[in-house]
Structure 1
Amino acid sequence: MGSGPESRPSLCLSPDCPGEGNSDGHKEAEQLQRKGQDGKRPCPHPLRGDGFWEGTNTDDETEAQGGQLTVPRISTTVGSRSAHEPAAGRRRPASAAAACHPTERPPAPEPAPALNADEGRRPIIRKWPRNLFRSYSRCGLRRVTAGMKPILLQGHERSITQIKYNREGDLLFTVAKDPIVNVWYSVNGERLGTYMGHTGAVWCVDADWDTKHVLTGSADNSCRLWDCETGKQLALLKTNSAVRTCGFDFGGNIIMFSTDKQMGYQCFVSFFDLRDPSQIDNNEPYMKIPCNDSKITSAVWGPLGECIIAGHESGELNQYSAKSGEVLANVKEHSRQINDIQLSRDMTMFVTASKDNTAKLFDSTTLEHQKTFRTERPVNSAALSPNYDHVVLGGGQEAMDVTTTSTRIGKFEARFFHLAFEEEFGRVKGHFGPINSVAFHPDGKSYSSGGEDGYVRIHYFDPQYFEFEFEA
């Protein structure tokens, strides 16, 4: 649309303005403004055609009045699709200056340097349009707030059960209470692929040291081995009950997984050596450890693959030898079920998350209790930062009570604690239900969280996080 001096789409709303209702009056007011005569001050009222301050006129009105709407587009990845999000305001349509005469004023100062020497217009500093983000929501785009900008991954139809980075951190694996296993690029949230084959909820996922193989355990009574690059299923290990936890050892040659205590079957921890094809073909592990007292709810490999550390439904922690199967150490620091166990980067410590509203830090070799991080709600997952003495906790009210609870009361934030002082120093909101799994990126510059709402959110830390110093 035209924006030259001949096109004057906007009229002043002031009743005292000499340009009210006619373009000739605006020409006269513009001349007075340019000359600075008669001591008349500029009209304080916004021009309707601008639409910048009030945010009341629609895009159709701006178009009808002869204005222009320019919205540069920035590519933003949402899940596996690329959406375009407007990032700038509207271009101001050409409009005349206006003046009004409520009272007599001293002579106006000399006009500022003109923005355009031919037209003689003064530069005007514009505010950000108030209705810009409202127009985003009408287009179905999500507003990205300032500060930590999350990438929202939408690849599951049910609640997230576990998320895990590979060793390099370029890939993020996510599983949920649906049969889908997704892998994403962590840098931009683009979905790389899907591993299809399970017929029930997938409880656990792990990748080996060099990200060649992926291991998943499901409620369809199976544990499956995948080729990470092609998505081909390499092995199918059938069980009598649901597979709750799984993992590769340090070298990637031995896998372990635990089964639930259900349907008359007791809980077992099974060990397979991938270098022996007969174990895979015959579905016969080289070692099987029974757990009669309480089922295992979370388990990880210990340092150098010499043992596994298992958390039980009763709150106990056991350390099992990977060679003999005997119990090397046993402690009971939690009073309720242990939901998650995650190791530090050097594997010397690990943190547990429990339904007793606490997360605790332990020594990996002796299982000696070191620190306790207390909250007001059950903790479903906890992770240790690879670079700083920080731990992030995720949890919230029980999923069955979420429908009767607001997000404020439910405590659905990710909470950051100092590892040494046990003090909370930050929270991150975003999920609309309990957080079921959290994980730090191996470089420590971001973290991810998966919730009961079925979304995975990748948060990249802003510079203030790295400059933060905890004051004891």
Structure 2
Amino acid sequence: MANRVIPLTCSGHTRPVVHLSFSSLNDDGTYLLVSSCKDGNPMLRDWTGDWIGTFLGHKGAVWSTKLSPDTSRAVTGSADFTAKVWDTYTGKVLHSFPHNHIVRTVAMAPDASHILTGGNEKKVRIFDLAQPESEPVFLNRPGGKESHGGMVKSVVWSEPSMGVSAGEDGVIRWWDLRSQEEVRSVTLSDPILSMELSKATSKLVVTSGRDVSFLPVAPGQYETFKVTLPYAPSSASLHPVLQDRFVAGSTADPWVRVYDMDGVEREVYKGHHGPVHCVEYSPDGEMYATGSEDGTIRLWQTIPGKSYGLWQGGQPNGG
């Protein structure tokens, strides 16, 4: 008899949850989860889903939140035209960087020395946290053109000196952050909805149109794998250990679906009461998190019934 799939529900947000990001795996096997929400209050949780704290200070929807590798810092991007850097232990704002429009995406350098931002201005900026009063560096295309021809939907810091940006123009661009020059670009056939860096697999997971594309994060590698789904996925995440499956959400329905790499649906679950905006596997691959229009985060086991975290004997215990 198959195990019943019962997700843990993490409440606390009051509006749609639009982005989720896990930290790297700590030496003791634990990790953290940050959530971005239209309520303007990003939340930090531990690996069991238990609430740790809320970052209070934005005056608009928060579209993106990322943690530093050591989890001591967080960076957020908001509709209030700012990106902020936070101390995760105290919850205090350390820096606030003004923009001229909505900040849709942020990333932090591996050594937490700089941040990348992008958004409605179509520009990608680098801010130096050691010199927070200094003007940012802009990543421009040849001729001084803006970073993208449409809204910047996602930025990731892939290596100490390499960043990647993705835009509604359907283009993914690799940037040498030392020279501020573009070193490669790939153009997809549809506007990009999401792009996440799967750190354990060194792959970019990109959703555009009805496609989920898997691209090497290294700019010199060119093999690209694509899976076409029967609907337009809002977000997708590759299993970090097995690499034989990915999870996808959709803004068209409340279902969460897991697929084989050949596009065959292997699992489908309903737990949310609204469209699913974002999905992300935990760094150990034991579970994945989903965020929805219904204002909740739900945590799902990769192997239902396994005793893990707050699933004791396969049954949720808390959350």
TM-score bucket (shorter structure): 0.7 to 0.9
Q: Which residue matches 1:350?
A: 204
Q: Which residue matches 1:50?
A: none
Corresponding residue to 1:455 among 254, 272, 296: 296
* Percent of matched pairs sharing the same residue: 27
Q: 1:311 to 1:394 in 2, by over 3 A?
A: same
1:299 aligns with 2:155: yes
- Name the structure where strand makes up a greater proportion of residues: 2
5+ residue gaps, structure 1, are: 1-144, 262-266, 398-409, 466-472
Do 2:149 and 2:167's aligned partners in 1 also have CA atoms closer than 8 Å? Answer: no
Deviation at 1:224, TM superposition (A): 0.5
Superposed, 1:50-129 pairs within 5 Å as none
Q: Which residue matches 1:215?
A: 75
Q: 1:446 to 1:352 in 2, by over 3 A?
A: same
5+ residue gaps, structure 2, are: 141-145, 307-319
Between Structure 1 and Structure 2, how many residues are aligned?
295
Q: 1:173 to 1:311 in 2, by over 3 A?
A: same
CA distance in 1, matches of 2:225, 2:255: 21
Deviation at 1:252, TM superposition (A): 1.8
After superposition, the CA RMSD in angstroms is 2.1
CA distance in 2, matches of 1:422, 1:367: 23
Superposed, 1:229-240 pairs within 5 Å as 229-240=89-100
Amino acid at match of 1:362: L
| 1:270-316 CA-partner distances (Å, limit 9, x unpaired) | 11222x23xx124x1244433252221112122x2322221111212
Q: Which residue matches 2:53?
A: 193
Larger Rg: 1
Q: In structure 1, the residue corresponding to 2:133 is in which secondary structure?
A: helix
TM-score normalised according to structure 2 size: 0.86
1:175 aligns with 2:39: no
CA distance in 1, matches of 2:305, 2:87: 40
Do 2:148 and 2:171's aligned partners in 1 also have CA atoms closer than 8 Å? Answer: no
CA distance in 2, matches of 1:202, 1:177: 6
Q: Which residue matches 2:185?
A: 330
CA distance in 2, matches of 1:413, 1:260: 29
Do 1:373 and 1:417's aligned partners in 2 also have CA atoms closer than 8 Å? Answer: no
TM-score normalised according to structure 1 size: 0.59
Q: Which residue matches 1:363?
A: 216
- Name the structure where helix makes up a greater proportion of residues: 1
Corresponding residue to 2:136 among 285, 289, 293: 285
Deviation at 1:178, TM superposition (A): 1.3
Corresponding residue to 1:250 among 110, 130, 151: 110
Deviation at 1:347, TM superposition (A): 5.0
CA distance in 1, matches of 2:19, 2:195: 12
1:415 aligns with 2:267: no
CA distance in 1, matches of 2:107, 2:42: 15
| Higher RCO (CA < 8 A, seq sep 6+) | 2
Deviation at 1:216, TM superposition (A): 0.4
Q: Which residue matches 1:226?
A: 86
